[in-house]
Amino acid sequence: MVTGSTTTESLQCVRCGQDQNLWQLSPRCTACGGLLAVSRDLSEYDATMLRGAWAARRGSLAPHDRSGVWRFRELIAPLDLDEMTARGEGNTGLYPTEELARWAGVASLHLKHEGENPTGSFKDRGMTAGVSVARKLGARTVACASTGNTSASLASYAALAGLGCLVLVPAGEHTSAAKLSQALAYGARTLAIRGDFDRALVLLQALAPELDLYVLNSVNPWRLEGQKSIMFETLEALGWEAPDWIVLPGGNLGNTSAFTKALLEMRELGLIARLPRIAVVQAAGASPFAASYAGGWAPLQPVRADTMATAIRIGDPVNHPKASAGVRALDGVVTTVTDPEIMDAKALVDRAGIGCEPASAASIAGLRRLCKEGVIGAEERVVAVITGHLLKDPDASSRYHASAAEHANPPTEVDADERSIRAVVRGL
Ligand code: F0G
């Protein structure tokens, strides 16, 4: 049956296995503090019916049908239609790129451009789900720690839903001014913490019960349910033919957890016949997950993170238990790239006319590295996820193009007369 609201979901702890109340305020297991995951009985769904219902909704004018998240609502959250706080999120482009594919070393490369979401990053897909659930629970104030994008997105959706919003971001240069300005402008109470993201998230989780805050970091299982829609939309756009690889950047590992869950659900439902592999790319200065992978899935050792890709400047990724299980299930790999590699890849994503912020370009830099190493073959078909918009970090672009970097395209200052312009243009 295909309906707006089903009751097949349950909430389970991935550590101790205990069943939890589906509609609870605690985002973690109340018994052991482990991560929670939404599970659902998929046996009542039929792949053909789901595909048909999802396709039909694209032609509707209703906000919950047009949303690239709620269009897939059977696999997102069992809410009534009027409980969904939506603002046209999702429905992002999937762009074939020939030059970039050649540069990376693969036959076919599509970029899924999540920067096209309303606040400029994939976070909107998680927040439409998380904030809708917050409203259903009767939460008064939603909160997050953030490297910037989560706070921008939460601030927007909280304002739409009429909820209070508290965000904690690292003070100073490690939070992009553009992202911070979004949180401020959407009206969030914004605390600039004299510490890093990892510290901010620890503090928030410790204080949330006392301060009556509903935490909407990706530790929240409903956030991940919303972010699964990136994979539903991608596979739908590819005619339900899985590519060979999905490549994405890894920070707090919410997307890694969400994508692998979505792909496993799609295979179980028969929506796709086979699974793609997954490649997670971390910045070298913030790569505890890559180190765990390289050590044969050794226990994750938190690090003090540092990278110019501030969105993924994370040293203790909260979702690593889910992410490592997911990567293993998809026979995936985890790799690292340096900041200069990230910035060169970003320049090429930008020049392709698509554009992204530094963290997003880690996926393309990582793809190139994996091709050079022979992990990804030249004939393979790849989808890389571009997680955030170019304008999320304009300073990073300006600095790059003012530098002597390989793909720098600096402006030429000229006198304000015809002759000077003519001389410069003819000189090109
Ligand atoms: N790309 C961008 C643009 C991000 O903003 C983030 C995370 C990631 C990638 C990493 O995704 O955590 O699912 O592995 N940004 C968070 C924030 C942490 O606060 O905005 P992940």
Residues of the chain with CATH 3.40.50.1100: 94-120+223-401
Q: What is the dihedral of CA 305, 126, 77, 54, to 10 degrees?
A: -130
Specify whether the CB–CB gap between 81 and 60 falls below 8 A.
no
Counting ligand 1 atoms within 8 A of each CB, the residue from 146, 149, 216 with the most, and so the one to mutate, is 149
* Most ligand 1 atoms within 8 A of CB, residue of 147, 248, 389 to mutate: 147
User: Tokens at residue 412, please?
Assistant: 């030429």
Q: How far apart are CA 98 and CA 106, in angstroms?
A: 9
The ligand 1 site (C-beta within 6 Å) comprises 121, 146-150, 218, 249-256, 311-312, 357, 359-360, 387-388
361 CA to middle of ligand 1, Å?
Answer: 12
Residue 289's CB is within 10 A of a number of other CB atoms, namely 25
| The CATH number of domain 94-120+223-401, selected from 3.40.50.1100, 3.40.50.1700, 2.60.40.10, 3.20.20.70 | 3.40.50.1100
The stretches of 270-351 forming alpha helices (DSSP H) are 288-294, 320-329, 339-351
* 251 Cα: distance to centroid of ligand 1 (angstroms): 6
CA dihedral 281, 285, 291, 293 (to 10 degrees): -10
Q: Residue 5: what pLDDT?
A: 47
Atom of ligand 1 nearest to the CA of 392: 3
Per-residue pLDDT of the chain (428 residues; tens, 9 = 90+): 344 444 689 999 999 999 999 999 999 999 999 999 999 999 989 999 999 999 999 999 999 999 999 999 999 999 999 999 999 999 999 999 999 999 999 999 999 999 999 999 999 999 999 999 999 999 999 999 999 999 999 999 999 999 999 999 999 999 999 999 999 999 999 999 999 999 999 999 999 999 999 999 999 999 999 999 999 999 999 999 999 999 999 999 999 999 999 999 999 999 999 999 999 999 999 999 999 999 999 999 999 999 999 999 999 999 999 999 999 999 999 999 999 999 999 999 999 999 999 999 999 999 999 999 999 999 999 999 999 999 999 999 999 999 999 999 999 999 999 999 999 999 86
Going from the Cα of 17 to the center of ligand 1, the distance in angstroms, rounded, reads: 27
Ramachandran area for residue 148 (φ above 0: left; ψ -120 to 50: alpha; else beta): left
Model pLDDT for residues 99-111, shown as the tens digit of each residue: 999 999 999 999 9
The predicted structure's pLDDT at residue 20: 97
User: Is the pTM higher than 0.95?
Assistant: yes
Nearest CA to ligand 1 atom 19: 146
Pocket test for ligand 1, best of 287, 312, 334 (most atoms within 8 A of CB): 312
